[in-house]
């Protein structure tokens, strides 16, 4: 039962998400995918895959870490063995005998792996990464094994979402919206992009969530200052430049709940007010600043493009998603989202042959550029469920009133 809406607190009747069922269903999907791929063992190093297999609450760290065995899934026993020196954050169904401790010594790591029943005699091992060092470790433990890519099996299992995964995604979406509200509230002349990043991260932490999935909270327009960014291009790295009244800013908010991610982007006019009713320049909701025609035009173009891409999130081919504007950006226009960013990535030359299944969740973004104008560009992004009957928006946040073409001024 999910009747209490999105929230992170445990509830006496069992809460909003049935985490035991969530883990059980994920594990079943994973074992099924392993069986289909003929894998005896999965050796997982990517934190999201480790979460998917084990349900362990892991410590968030930034960046892509080197591949190494963090979880080992055995098809025969259906058991998940986990790299964890302690049982804090480890679900009950993973017993102490399924934990192996942190080690810096390759010989010890090999011995820990060799102690997992059935691993040494495995015939086919799938891994989600590979490096010369970790690779030789695995082959030394299971000398007779064929080591293959686990990516397709993992993508198959993770691609469509269970009801509890969707509940987690909805909670992440609500939290991401809270992050966006905090950004809009803090947006006033003088605030820097970097300060906005701190405002966003703090808003998520106050909700009890870890560091946001991407620290790209704000990009003031136009992108001035030369360099490869150049005017009319979205910058993903915040700077110390301060917002000026009348300037547009691309705001991106994101949240992780129980490992599940939602992000959204909105373009706002500095000094226009909105969102939480704050912002400098007036209390009348539209604020004191009036957007230029160029700003409204590009903001409207981004919204239309976003709407079109959202509408294209239907089961089947992705040709509509890869339509107009696909080649303009350096980033993909859409990607899978669940336990963080997931395949498929669409755009930037990727995903041409992809078929979207119903039940997949996608992050969809639209960047519209206005090179050479003071408007710079506009960014809109949302998270969408590919529903059997059509797309369902999971993120919900209004547009900047001052940039909406229907505002009379």
Partner 1 sequence: MTKSIDGAVLPDVPDLARMRTERHARLQAQMSSSGVDALLLLGTNPVAYATGAEAPGADSGRAGLLRPVALVVGGDPQAHLFTPYPDGAPAELAEDHLHPAIYPELPDGAAAAAAAVSELVPSGSRLAVDELPHPLAAALGSYEITGASGLLGPARLVKTPDELACIRTAQHINELAMARVQPQLRPGVRQNDLSAWFLEAIFDLGATGNGIDPIWQVMPDRLADGPWTTHGDVAFPTASTDRILRAGDVVWVDTGIDWHGYASDFGRTWLVDPLAAPTGRQAGQFRRWDEVVAAVLDILKPGVTALELGRAAIEANGGTRPWVEHFYLAHGLGTESAEMPMIGTDLGDAFDDRLVMAPGMVLVLEPVIWDEGEGGYRSEDIFAVTDDGWVALSDHPYDPYGSRSW
186-205 positions binding partner 1, by CB under 8 A: 194-195, 197-199, 201-203, 205
| Helices 163-186 & 193-206 angle (0-180, nearest 10) | 140
List 69, 129, 273, 376, residue binding partner 1 (CB under 8 A): 129
Helix (H, G, I), strand (E, B) or coil at 182: helix
Q: Are 31 and 75 in contact (CB under 8 A)?
A: yes
Closest alpha carbon to 126 in 149, 155, 154, 153: 149
By CB under 8 A, tell whether 151 contacts partner 1: yes
Determine the Cα–Cα distance for residues 15 and 10; give it in Å rounded to an integer.
5
The three-class DSSP label of residue 403 is helix
Out of 210, 276, 278, 285, name the contact with partner 1 by CB under 8 A. Answer: 210
**DSSP reduced 3-state for 186:** helix
- Does the protein bind partner 1 through residue 335 (CB under 8 A)? yes
What x-and-dash track marks residues 8-47 binding partner 1 by CB under 8 A? x-------------------------------------xx
Binding letters toward partner 1, positions 286-325, x by CB under 8 A: ----------------------------------------
CB of 284 to partner 1, least distance (A): 29
What's the CA gap between 197 and 178, in Å, rounded? 14
φ/ψ region of 188 (left if φ > 0, alpha if ψ in -120 to 50, else beta) reads beta
Residue entry with tokens 């590979």: 130
- Whether 262 and 173 have beta carbons less than 8 Å apart is answered as yes
Q: Taking CB under 8 A as the rule, does residue 237 contact partner 1?
A: yes
- Binding to partner 1, residues 43-102 (CB under 8 A): 46-48, 57-67, 84-89, 96, 99-102
| Measured CA distances, 83 to 26, 45, 166 (Å) | 19, 10, 27
Among 294, 341, 393, 407, binds partner 1 (CB under 8 A): 341
- Residues that contact partner 1, how many (by CB under 8 A): 88
Q: What is the DSSP string of 303-343?
A: HHHHHHHHHT-SSEE-TTTTSTTTTT-SS-SEEEEESEEEE
Separation of alpha carbons 145 and 119, rounded Å: 9
Q: Please, what is the minimum distance in Å from the beta carbon of residue 261 to partner 1? A: 7
How far is residue 157's CA from residue 155's CA, in Å, rounded to a whole number? 5
Token duo for residue 378: 């506009």
How many other C-beta atoms can be found within 10 angstroms of the C-beta atom of residue 132?
A: 7
Q: Quick one: which of 121, 330, 355, 405 contacts partner 1 (CB under 8 A)? A: 330
- Residues 325, 333: contact at Cβ < 8 Å? yes
- Figure out which of the listed residues 11, 149, 283, 293 binds partner 1, where binding follows CB under 8 A: 149
Nearest approach in angstroms of CB 281 to partner 1 is: 23
- From residue 238 to residue 277, what is the string marking binding to partner 1 with x (rule CB under 8 A)? x-x---------------x----x----------------
Among 3, 5, 12, 104, interactor with partner 1 by CB under 8 A: 104
Stretch that binds partner 1, among 31-39, 288-296, 335-343, 367-375 (CB under 8 A): 335-343
* Residues between 350 and 379 with contacts to partner 1, criterion CB under 8 A: 350-353
156 touches partner 1 (CB under 8 A): no
340 lies in the site for partner 1, by CB under 8 A: yes
Q: Name which position in 108, 244, 277, 405 contacts partner 1 (CB under 8 A).
A: 108
């Amino acid at each position: 039962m999910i009747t209490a809406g999105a929230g992170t607190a445990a509830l006496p009747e069992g809460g909003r998400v049935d985490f035991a069922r969530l883990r059980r269903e994920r594990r079943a999907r994973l074992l099924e995918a392993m069986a289909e791929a003929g894998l005896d063992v999965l050796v997982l190093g990517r934190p999201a895959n480790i979460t998917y297999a084990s349900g362990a609450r892991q410590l968030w760290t930034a960046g892509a870490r080197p591949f190494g065995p963090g979880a080992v899934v055995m098809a025969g026993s259906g058991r998940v063995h986990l790299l964890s020196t302690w049982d804090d954050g480890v679900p009950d169904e993973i017993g102490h005998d399924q934990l192996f401790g942190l080690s810096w010594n390759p010989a010890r790591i090999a011995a820990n792996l060799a102690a997992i029943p059935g691993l040494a005699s495995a015939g086919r091992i799938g891994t989600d990464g590979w490096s010369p060092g970790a690779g030789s470790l695995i082959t030394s433990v299971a000398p007779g094994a064929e080591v293959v890519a686990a990516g397709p099996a993992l993508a198959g299992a993770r691609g469509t979402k269970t009801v509890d995964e969707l509940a987690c995604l909805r909670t992440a979406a609500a939290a991401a919206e809270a992050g966006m509200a905090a950004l809009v509230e803090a947006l006033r002349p003088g605030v820097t992009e970097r300060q906005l990043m701190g405002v966003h991260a703090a808003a998520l932490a106050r909700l009890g969530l870890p560091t946001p999935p991407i620290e790209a909270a704000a990009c003031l327009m136009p992108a001035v200052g030369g360099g490869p960014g150049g005017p009319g291009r979205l910058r993903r790295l915040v700077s110390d430049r301060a917002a000026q009244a009348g300037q547009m800013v691309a705001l991106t908010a994101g949240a992780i709940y129980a490992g599940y991610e939602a992000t959204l982007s909105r373009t706002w006019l500095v000094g226009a007010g909105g969102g939480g009713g704050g912002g400098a320049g007036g209390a009348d909701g539209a604020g004191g600043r009036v957007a230029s025609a160029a700003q409204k035009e590009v903001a409207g173009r981004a919204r239309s493009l976003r709407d079109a891409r959202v509408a294209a999130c239907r089961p089947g081919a992705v040709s509509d998603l890869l339509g107009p504007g696909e080649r303009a950006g350096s980033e993909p226009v859409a990607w899978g989202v669940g336990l963080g960013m997931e395949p498929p990535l669409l755009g930037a030359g990727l995903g041409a042959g992809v078929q979207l299944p119903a039940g997949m969740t996608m992050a969809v973004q639209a960047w519209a550029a206005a090179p050479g104008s003071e408007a710079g560009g506009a960014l809109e992004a949302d998270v969408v469920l590919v529903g059997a009957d059509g797309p369902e928006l999971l993120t919900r946040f209004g547009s900047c009133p001052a940039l909406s073409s229907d505002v009379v001024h």
